[in-house]
Structure 1
Amino acid sequence: MLKKTAALAQPEVSHLVRKLRHLSGLSQEQFAVTLGVAFSTINRWENGHMQPSPLALKQIKTMLGELSRSSVVELQEQSQTLLNQYFSETESSTQ
């Protein structure tokens, strides 16, 4: 079955958020500003205390899509792997 964005289990969300933030080279504070949320929100996502909203997950998916078009091959590969792992093929192809 295809994974739906809103149906990600908490450990998956925590891993996804942390990996994307590290790929982006951003601190939790910088990542929060990028997504338009509070620093404490990013911290809660990464520590498994809270789920991102559907809008935040859409923004995360968009960021992964942008990284997958990077000129740096390693960023392309890692971000595409995360897109494939956490978002359905149908959703990924609409980027």
Structure 2
Amino acid sequence: MTIKKPLAIKQPEVGRIIRDLRLALGLTQEQFAAQLRVIYSTIKRWKNGRSTPSPLAMKKIEGMLEKMGGEGEDLLAKYLPN
């Protein structure tokens, strides 16, 4: 899977895709935050819709989705606008 353009997912979908991605990878919020090189409270703000990931964080999230292959594609398809 290759994401052709930067992800343009807005709230509340950002929070949902982060939750679903984290669960699919079997990571706690703390582990997920460490993989993205952010602090736990940042993940919490994204999930609660109080802020959105930076472009760099979105790029890292894209990379995680790409590494998941078909499962990542299916997850992304749930949240991308048609």
Q: Normalized against structure 1, the TM-score is what?
A: 0.71
Equivalents in 1 of 2:76, 2:28: separation in Å?
21
2:65 and 2:73 in contact (8 A); partners too: yes
For these two proteins, the number of residue pairs brought into alignment is: 77
Q: Is the 8 A contact 1:4 1:87 kept in 2?
A: no
Question: Does the Cα contact within 8 Å between 1:29 and 1:39 map onto a contact in 2?
Answer: yes
Q: Specify the structure having the higher radius of gyration (Cα).
A: 1
Question: Identity percentage over the alignment?
Answer: 49
Question: Which is richer in helix?
Answer: 1
Q: Kindly report the root-mean-square deviation, in angstroms, between the aligned alpha carbons of the 2 structures.
A: 2.0
Bigger RCO (CA 8 Å, 6+ sep): 2
**Alignment correspondent of 1:50:** 51
The CA deviation at 1:82 is 2.2
Moved over 6 A (4+): none
> Which residue does the alignment assign to 1:35?
36
- Give structure 2 stretches of 5+ with no counterpart: none
